[in-house]
Amino acid sequence: MLQELSIQNLALIEKLTLNFKTGFTTLTGETGAGKSILLDALGLALGERADSSLVRYHTPRADVTAQFDISQLPHIQHWLAEQDLDDEDLCMLRRTVNSEGRSKAYINGRPIPASSLKTLGNLLIDIHGQHEHQSLLSASQQLTLLDAYANHPTLIENTQISFKTWQTLNKRFETLKAAQSDFQSRLDLLNFQQTEFDDVNPLEGEFAELSEQQSQLSHANEIKQACQLCYENLEGESGATDHIQHALSALEEIVNFSPELASTIEQLNSSLIDIQEAASEVQHHAEKIELDPEQLTLLDDRLHALFGLAKKYLIEPEQLVEKHQQIKQEITQLEHSDSELETLQIEIEQAWSTYQTCAEKLNKSRQKACKTLSKTVTDAMHTLGMPNGLFDVQLTNTSPTAKGTDKTDFLVTANKGQPLQPLAKVASGGELSRISLAIQVATAEIASLPTLIFDEVDVGIGGGIAEVVGKKMQQLGQHKQILSITHLAQVASHGHNHWRIEKHTKDESTFTQVIELAPQQRVEELARMMGGLTVTEQTLGHAKEMLHSAQKLN
């Protein structure tokens, strides 16, 4: 349940901390006092869209924190643990928004995307707005509400998954089938391309190797001449080895007189060996080089063929082998496309059968929920001043979708002898408002969320019906945390707790504050709600009696 809401610099609120209680709490106040601001603040904490217009004038940012007790909510604890956001029995949702409209979101002090805040918020609080009946006119919203009432998330998920599988296979089948329309022309082109590649038959690593051979053969004379010159300078007469040997002889004659030259003699001997090995390698390499014009011609022709093929297909010569393989693979795929289509057709039939099974199970669960919801809402209509009212949820078959094959129609009549008709055709706005309230109360009783907020859903009703609404919310407050923003004294009198929202001006600054009312203050507030600007002793007496009567039900 919601324990605390802390607000700073949001619209008319400079700084406000509200400590919420269990049961049914009513919030009242003059029009424009700021009741909607509290819902805006809570909406921010629950991940709704941030807006810079909410930031209090001349302040850098607004900051809202909502604290929840989740000790009795294992599914919330599990969700937080999965996100590595668990913090024992408390959960804190925080949102900041600066004057430029940029916002930040936190759960238990850790930064998270606003979408995660919204996901968690949807598990903690359900807000019923005064214009709820407008969304109830939508067939998709009616189906969503019925599914929520039926509480069968696994059936919905299975239906969605099976539909997506069937849809994906169908798209793949259509793509492959469309490709077959130009099958023969594509296959002819690929066979022609394969023939070209087969004729050349490029090999892996061939181009680099042939390029090196060509370079060597085309410069054979230069290589041989350079090697010969090098060898003569190393091993020829008056070559490097000759000079080093003379140098060694000179040092060896005096080494006995200068022993420190022994290391120099060793270095010269080592250098002599290295030079002789280098000379031998150069001589060997020159002997390998052959002047072979015919071989050079063959290499040139082969490289020309590889270059020509690569140029035609706009690729590098090194990519020829890969392209050859791609052509072969596409030919194989095309030649086997008929068998793939047959396999896909079987898979599609299996997927469709699975989807039908899932959709049928979902339909049966919905049919069962239709009966229960119809009776529950009808009973609620009777208690809300429509004794002859009748509500019926009907399912009709529709085209397959991820939500199944059902279309929902909320049918209703408020008067005896009148036929059932779609909710959208209800003429009276007052009747539509009460029917909407009946639906909301009926679904609230089975809702798994711990906190329910009703935002002026009692607009358009009054008298004894308003008292019935108050009693109903009071009953709901025995099992859930109920918050109701209301203008009706009959509803407010049934609250276990009563807060008044006030707007004040001080030092040319306007601000909103919330006051928890004591019993006598409640009487005065109820009298104001009933009597308008002038509150008489008679009105106060009536308010006191109303409060006493309503609280006896606790």
Residue 389: DSSP 8-state: -
Is the alpha carbon torsion for 117, 120, 122, 127 positive or negative?
Answer: negative
- Under the banding of pLDDT at 50, 70 and 90, the label for residue 428 is low
For 264, list phi and psi in degrees, rounded to 5: -65, -40
Helix (H, G, I), strand (E, B) or coil at 278: helix
Res 381 pLDDT > 80: yes
| Inter-residue contact 219 to 286 (CB < 8 Å) | no
Q: What is the pLDDT of residue 139?
A: 84
Q: Give the total residue count for the chain.
A: 554
Helix (H, G, I), strand (E, B) or coil at 1: coil
Res 427 pLDDT > 60: no
Whole-number Å distance between alpha carbons of 217 and 173: 56
Instruction: Tell me which residue of 171, 159, 190, 517 sits closest to 361, measured CA to CA.
Output: 159
Res 484 pLDDT > 80: yes
Res 372 pLDDT > 90: yes
Contacts of 298 (CB under 8 A, 6+ apart): none
The gap between the terminal CA atoms of the chain, to the nearest Å, is 20
| Averaged pLDDT for residues 185-210 | 89
| Inter-residue contact 395 to 370 (CB < 8 Å) | yes
- Under the banding of pLDDT at 50, 70 and 90, the label for residue 168 is very high
Reading the block at residue 261, the tokens are 């030259």
**Which class for 209: exposed (0-12), middle (13-18), buried (19 or more C-beta within 10 A)?**
exposed
Q: What is the pLDDT of residue 315?
A: 92
Strands (E), 280-389: none
Instruction: Tell me which residue of 104, 7, 19, 111 sits closest to 59, measured CA to CA.
Output: 7
Among 81-85, 152-156, 411-415, 437-441, which range has the highest average pLDDT? 152-156
- Under the banding of pLDDT at 50, 70 and 90, the label for residue 384 is confident
Res 337 pLDDT > 70: no
If you average pLDDT over every residue of the chain, what do you get? 86
Reading the block at residue 365, the tokens are 């669960």
Q: Give the chain's domains with CATH numbers.
A: 1-130+450-458+479-516 (3.40.50.300), 183-335 (no CATH), 523-554 (no CATH)
Q: Among 61-70, 164-173, 344-353, 442-451, where is mean pLDDT lowest?
A: 442-451
Question: pTM of the prediction?
Answer: 0.60
| Averaged pLDDT for residues 379-406 | 91
Q: What is the pLDDT of residue 158?
A: 96
Residue ranges of alpha helices (H) inside 152-238 are 153-179, 183-200, 206-218, 220-235
- The more confidently predicted of residues 158 and 86 is 158
| Averaged pLDDT for residues 248-268 | 87
Q: What is the pLDDT of residue 455?
A: 82
Q: What is the pLDDT of residue 253?
A: 85
Facing residues of 64 across strands?
Answer: 7, 95
